[in-house]
Structure 1
């Protein structure tokens, strides 16, 4: 098991090692993992009342994490009052410019294949019409509750499915709003860490209420919101063992869920074991290929939730990140935080659209591929589909020099090489431990492209 104390630092999660991954025995789950590895690109979205602040989601509430999460708001020094102010953000959350069909269209045009949407973050605010708590988007205190799109999860999931995207329901196992987890008056007092305010071993009756509450919420999502492809579980400290043992009997609720949705994958991130069907690095890419299913969640901007002056990565940066991830055997979950009014930031939309334009031409080197030596060299990203190998040759900037002769470190036998996008055959010769290709004259004029993609036939 991962070390719980090192699991989260400044809100960024560590990730499980390959040795902690357990290969599922269920043939349906194994089949679905192959489907998962075909998808390559997800759109992740963190959205909730916290978006009004333009700050990191939820973490302000944890006193243990206050040193890094509270810096940009002039909060009162009375931490209990500060938490009341945070929890009251639902009373002003009114995203009247939310149009789920426009979100789905932007994702489709961007080449994304599945959505990871925050149904609930650690603060406990539910973005669906739950029956378990009034702290929800359809609660009477939330101004948006009477809007025709008020059940945000339903409308988002339906819109994305209509565009052919699969659905992953992001769900925090921790809940800092319910009294079953942070129970008033319990021994931890006014200084709260991210775990429960009591020891579940000493108060089993209260912990059982939390387990039932959590199971009921998960089953609402599994039974009332259509096909869910992945249950994406955050808050890895909520687990058996660790700093404070927090067994929510995840296996029981997953068994119930899979009776309804047998195709369901589970990403119980940072925990390892039978319910972490794939591994989830965050804001990082492993330094080598991983030979287990994995998905790296990386922001298009600088943070997961919306930021008022955020800077967004260019399409060139996104392609380079995507190709490094794919060449190392993973999927990429690119995160965008919607604005508090319900729109996607223009800077994010621009980068997504340009990424999609590149993928329309070069997507055959991405979707449905598997790893292929020499994987990723910094300049070249290699992927394979059947007997065809792809080399994506990356340019750092539009002013990079495009040479007529390009060397790539590929040593296997080769019959022909074509330029993806034109299907033009390229002259090549074997030199030492690699190949030298000759680009056509049409590729030597103007600015450097994001990448040249070569189709290598053996």
Structure 2
């Protein structure tokens, strides 16, 4: 059985991972992201926190759960939908039993939250969001409202000195100066009040008619509210409440259940404990979607509302064996393209079931941090500025007197150009320099900006960089 499980889960991972979260009808409806449905917070404390968050630019989203132990895509193997494959299994129930049974072996004895926090800080990360519970319903924290949790006394992790994984990660991250957030799935595929055992699950939604059984649905609403209340009460200062599962939302559409969990009450209760809390009710347009979250994509052009691209470092959100990871250069260039359009990058990474990150993850993050140590001035606390990007030249700005041109060399580029045109409206004599090495550069005025001369002696070496930042100050 063990060898079959390993083979099957690996196959399932690749089949599901290619599709991932983007399979939802809710996601398809809303991933156009025009920004014209954005309302934004009214609370001044939330506005202030959101403005601070927009300056962070770079965060990480850590997925960890039963799927980390199995090395497969998070939760989706449980979804009885026709795009999901479970190769090697003859029936759904066997798969679901094996998946949930991973709780008896999940034991992250190598999890070093202090080491994690230092790694992310050194990578230039400014905020961290950790998965408290994914759609499968397994809690990575000590919830008082379920036994399906990593702190259950009957599970091996309970014997660890610090069994509450969420608490450990958030506490260590704050000590390193990171802002922290909590990921929480609104659907729960193990709760008897969401997927009732009386009926087989049909899809990602509740498997019973909530109008026929309103008390059962209200039990689930209360359960969700209770869990979110304990997360925003017992886990210290929380800056972002990141809610996934956008199909759980109010709806008047014919053929769709009205899965209202009373976000008004949730937000108000949470903000009494956490003044200024940013609430991200993903893909539910309205007053509880404080910023937009395009997934695995970068917007084609800037939009005048707060947004964050959530993109995986590998192919999957959590850990899977032999995943293919982006290089440090790819992450830097991805981050640059997002920031130039006014967004943040939330980079998805995950440890294995023992709490270890792959060496390739650590290497990529270290490369990003080294680049940001030198060039972070052009990324953090910047604003987009016309023309945003031209070819592989990207723009950011600070105040009215500073423009950054960020040139991203192509993989096969031997030398960067001898002259780079940087569009700007700065007045008077300009100070132009490379951030890397603080080298002063000469320039001449041209229509709409300046032509900056790159010395011949630097061009080949600069072509090896992930990004070359030219700072222009009036």
TM-score, reference length from structure 2: 0.90
1:448 to 447, 457, 464: 464
Q: Does 1:33 align with 2:50?
A: yes
| Aligned residue pair count | 447
How does 1:312-391 map onto structure 2 within 5 Å? 312-387=325-400, 388-391=402-405
Within the alignment, does 1:394 sit opposite 2:408 as a pair? yes
Q: Structure 1: how far apart are the matches of 2:325 and 2:408? A: 20
Distance in 1 between residues matched to 2:466 and 2:33, nearest whole Å: 32
The within-5 A match list for 1:170-249 is 170-185=183-198, 189-241=199-251, 242=253, 243-249=256-262
Q: CA offsets per residue over residues 153-191 of structure 1, 9 Å max, x none?
A: 010001100100011100000000110100111xxx435
Alpha-carbon offset, residue 399 of structure 1: 4.1
CA distance in 1 between partners of 2:32 and 2:78 (Å) = 23
Q: Is 2:201–2:207's contact at 8 Å kept on the other side of the alignment?
A: no
The aligned counterpart of 2:421 is: 407
Hey, what's the Cα distance between the residues in 1 that align with 2:134 and 2:403? Answer: 40
1:420 equivalent in alignment to 2:411: no
Matches within 5 A, 1:14-413: 14=31, 16-64=33-81, 67-68=83-84, 70-71=85-86, 73-74=87-88, 76-185=89-198, 189-241=199-251, 242=253, 243-387=256-400, 388-397=402-411, 399-410=413-424, 413=427
Secondary structure of the 1:155 match is helix
The match for 2:6 is none
Distance 1:412 1:324 in 2: 23
Cα distance in structure 1, aligned partners of 2:395 and 2:297? 19
Shift of 1:280: 0.2
Cα distance in 2 for residues equivalent to 1:82 and 1:249: 33
Gaps spanning 5+ residues in structure 2: where? 1-21
* Structure-2 residue corresponding to 1:7: 26
Q: Return the offset for 1:15.
A: 6.2
Q: Distance in 2 between matches of 1:205 and 1:260?
A: 28
Are residues 403 and 380 of structure 1, via their aligned partners in 2, closer, same or farther at CA, if it must alter by over 3 Å? closer
How large is the Cα RMSD of the aligned pairs?
2.0
Q: Secondary structure at 1:392's aligned position in 2?
A: strand
Contact 1:15-1:280 within 8 A present in 2 as well: no
